[in-house]
Each structure stands twice: as C-alpha cells, then as structure tokens.
C-alpha cells in the first residue's frame, strides 16, 4: 500500500465532537437503517452470494463498531490498513466486490437520513473517501502480506510438522510434537515464537482467504490452548526469584487469547508473579482487580481493531489513579501490527510485538525502577 491514501485522509477536516457523538449515540439506528436498505435490494443475492443474510447484518454491526473506534480515536491510518482485510475476508466467503460500495453508500444514506445535516456532513466525507478508493481496496486486498517469519533452521522441521498436524486437526500429533519440542522450560519461549505463533498466523491467513472453515480455525486454536495448558502443568514450578507482579489480560470484548497466554507464561518463566485474567475481561472488573492487586505491570492484548476504544478507556482510567497505584501498561496484539506506535498514542507506556519483547520490556522497566 502506498502512502497516498493516508496523506489524503490526513487532509480531511477534523471531525467535530458532536458528529462523533451523534454517530455513537445513533449507532443502533444507523445499523438498522443500513440493514433495511441492503436487504431490500433486488440484487442482494448477487452481492452476498450464498451467505445467509445474517452474515451481512453481522458485518454491518461490526462495521459500525469499528468506525466508532476510528472516529473516536482519529486513527485514519488504521482505517486504510483494515478495510482491505475486510474486503479480502468477506470476498473469500462469496461476497461480491460490488457489495462493498453498495454497503458504504447505504451507510452514507443512513447518516444523512438519521443525523442532523450539520452532524452528518463531516462523517459523510469519510465515507466518500472510502467509496472513492474502492478499486484500490480491491487491489490492496489481493496483496497477501504474510505475517509469518521463517523460523531458524533448527526449528523448521518441527514447525512444518506441527503446522500440518494443526491444519488437519490431529490432536494426538499436536500434543506429541509439543512434548517432543519442549523438554524443559528453557525451550518454551522459542517454541512459542518459532512454532506456535507462526503456525497460528498461517491458520488465520487460511481462514481469511476462505481456505478453511471457522470450525477448523477454532479447532486449531483449541488444540494450541490445550497444548499450552499441558506444558504449563508439566513444566512450570515454584519461582525462585520474584522480579515483580504482573497482570495479563485481553481487553474488553476481546476473545483472542493465545498471544496473551504466551506473554503471561513467558513473564512467569522470567520470574514475575503473574495473574492471567483470560479473555473478554469487563472493564470495571479488570480495573477493580488491578487496583487491589497493585501489580508493577499490566499487559493488555488486543487482536481486533474495534476493541481499541475500550482499551484506551481502560488506560485513561488507570492514568487518573494516584501515582503509587498506577502500573506500567504494556500493549500488544494484532491490532497494533501495522501501526506499532498506536499503543503509545492510546496512552500505553510501551508496545511488545511478541512474548520475548514483552519480557525484555518488563525487565527494562524493572531496571529503571531499581536505578
């Protein structure tokens, strides 16, 4: 993707606060209106293929949540990076490319119908930009950008075997290879980085392109979760040193937790006392726990970009606490992959690309406190 679209977005007028608030407050009505416009089209089956209409409705809801994040956070770069992924994911499942401008035009019409004109017009400019870039979005969606980095030679054979077992849902083989690859705690982080993480990126890419079903993608995730749990039970023991306390959690409404588990386990292996809170952690419960536990570090994992606004809300809440109560906040996950500096723009103290970087950042913060 060239820089021209991002330059164009930067030239759009700043959105008035009242326009953003109107979008958020009327989101349910906007989605309902878009659903009505799209479902009444005579060419609907040509647009969505053999997909049930509920799949289209789900996309409209997700689009509204995503755009609410983009508009609230003023992160138009994320818009330019994310829309091609949406094109690729839905087109691979049978949606026509013609669906996307029809869908965006329906949003444009809904904005003008439901919101006062002065509040709608600035928002319409953003939708006009997306409509003007339709052909580019198609082109960018076809540029498959692999997230997978080649593992070191010593891990290639294991990675390739593990990936095939994972894709084919071979539970016994997955567990056998995991046991073979990780003989001690010293192997855990390398196994995560050179086998588990790239394998799950490949599985995710296959799902995006429609090469495997949702069920197979979920099975692969479940097998990886099961393997990490077994390795934890067999290998992890009492810690000899205590570097400090850490809480690791996904953000609110985030269900992708494999990366967060890798970070939690890697920090624990490095001597941190870790509390892992799991997926879809409600904001207030997370804040109550962190305030009471008083960790040195809070690590938040965010995979889906429509969860960024809730992540910023968590960070802002912690920023208002008394100085002695505020942990360092580390953010990571696929939502930041294309824009790693976005984590600090949202207010986090640092960004970690993977579990090894999370350990390195935690150690650096600890050393600063000691000095």
Domain covering 4-141 in this structure, CATH number: 1.10.490
Looking at the domain covering 244-370, what would its CATH class be?
A: alpha beta
CA 103 to centroid of chain Cα atoms: 23
Query: How high is the pLDDT of residue 12?
Result: 74
Token pair for 119: 């509040």
Query: How high is the pLDDT of residue 237?
Result: 80
Query: What are 37-47's pLDDT values in tens digits?
Result: 999 999 999 99
Query: How high is the pLDDT of residue 240?
Result: 66
Query: How high is the pLDDT of residue 157?
Result: 97
The b-or-e profile of 193-218 (16+ CB within 10 A means b, else e) is: bbbbbbbbbbbbbbbbeeebeeebbe
- Give the Cα separation of 290 and 275 in Å (integer): 10
Indicate the burial class of 366 (C-beta count within 10 angstroms; 0-12, 13-18, 19 or more).
Answer: middle
- Give the Cα separation of 343 and 337 in Å (integer): 10
- Give the Cα separation of 190 and 158 in Å (integer): 12
Contact 275, 294 (CB under 8 A): no
Query: How high is the pLDDT of residue 159?
Result: 97
Query: How high is the pLDDT of residue 369?
Result: 79
How does DSSP classify residue 12? S
Query: How high is the pLDDT of residue 314?
Result: 97
Contact 286, 316 (CB under 8 A): no
Query: How high is the pLDDT of residue 4?
Result: 62
The torsion defined by the Cα of 249, 193, 83 and 111, in degrees rounded to 10, comes to 0
**pLDDT one digit per residue (tens) for the chain, 371 residues:** 555 666 777 677 778 999 999 999 999 999 999 999 999 999 999 999 999 999 999 999 999 999 999 998 888 888 888 999 999 999 999 999 999 999 999 999 999 999 999 999 999 999 999 999 999 999 988 886 666 778 999 999 999 999 999 999 999 999 999 999 999 999 999 999 999 999 999 999 898 888 999 999 999 999 999 999 999 999 988 766 789 999 999 999 999 999 999 999 999 999 999 999 999 999 999 999 999 999 999 999 999 999 999 999 999 999 999 988 999 999 999 999 888 899 999 999 999 999 999 999 999 999 987 65
Look-up of token digits 């026509």: 96
- Give the Cα separation of 65 and 62 in Å (integer): 5
- Give the Cα separation of 308 and 73 in Å (integer): 8
Token pair for 181: 């690859």
Query: How high is the pLDDT of residue 143?
Result: 81
Where do the domains of the chain lie? 4-141, 153-235, 244-370
- Give the Cα separation of 192 and 164 in Å (integer): 16
Longest dimension (CA), the chain: 69
Indicate the burial class of 136 (C-beta count within 10 angstroms; 0-12, 13-18, 19 or more).
Answer: middle
Topology of 153-235 in CATH? 1.10.1240
Contact 60, 38 (CB under 8 A): yes
């Amino acid at each position: 993707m060239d820089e021209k679209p991002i330059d164009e977005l930067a030239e759009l007028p700043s959105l008035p606060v009242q326009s953003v608030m109107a979008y958020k407050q009327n989101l349910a009505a906007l989605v309902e209106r878009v659903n009505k416009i799209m479902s009444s089209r005579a060419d609907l089956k040509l647009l969505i293929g053999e997909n049930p209409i509920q799949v289209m409705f789900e996309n409209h809801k997700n689009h509204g949540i995503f755009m609410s994040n983009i508009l609230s956070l003023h992160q138009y770069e994320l818009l330019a990076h994310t829309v091609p992924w949406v094109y690729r994911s839905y087109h691979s499942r049978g949606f026509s490319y013609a669906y996307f401008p029809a869908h965006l035009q329906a949003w444009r019409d809904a904005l003008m119908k439901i919101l006062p004109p002065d509040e709608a017009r600035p928002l319409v400019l953003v939708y006009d930009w997306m409509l003007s870039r339709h052909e580019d979005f198609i082109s960018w969606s076809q540029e498959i950008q692999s997230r997978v980095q080649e593992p070191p030679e010593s891990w290639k054979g294991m990675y390739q075997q593990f990936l095939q077992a994972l894709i084919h849902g071979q539970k016994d083989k997955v567990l056998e290879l995991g046991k073979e690859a990780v003989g001690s705690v010293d192997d855990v982080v390398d196994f995560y980085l050179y086998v588990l993480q790239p394998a799950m990126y490949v599985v995710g890419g296959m799902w995006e392109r429609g090469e495997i079903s949702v069920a197979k993608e979920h099975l692969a995730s479940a097998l990886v979760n099961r393997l990490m749990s077994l390795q934890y039970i067999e290998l992890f023991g009492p810690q000899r040193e205590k570097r400090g306390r850490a809480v690791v959690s996904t953000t609110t409404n985030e269900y992708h937790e494999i990366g967060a588990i890798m970070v939690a386990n890697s920090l624990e292996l490095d001597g941190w006392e870790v509390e892992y809170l799991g997926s879809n952690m409600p904001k207030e419960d997370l804040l109550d726990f962190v305030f009471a536990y008083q960790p040195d570090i809070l690590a938040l994992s965010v995979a889906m970009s429509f969860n960024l606004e809730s992540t910023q809300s968590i960070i802002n809440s912690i920023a208002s606490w008394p100085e002695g109560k505020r942990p360092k906040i580390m953010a990571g996950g696929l939502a930041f992959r294309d824009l790693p500096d976005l984590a600090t723009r949202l207010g986090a103290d640092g960004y970690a690309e993977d579990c090894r970087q999370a350990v390195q950042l935690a150690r650096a913060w600890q050393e600063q406190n000691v000095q």
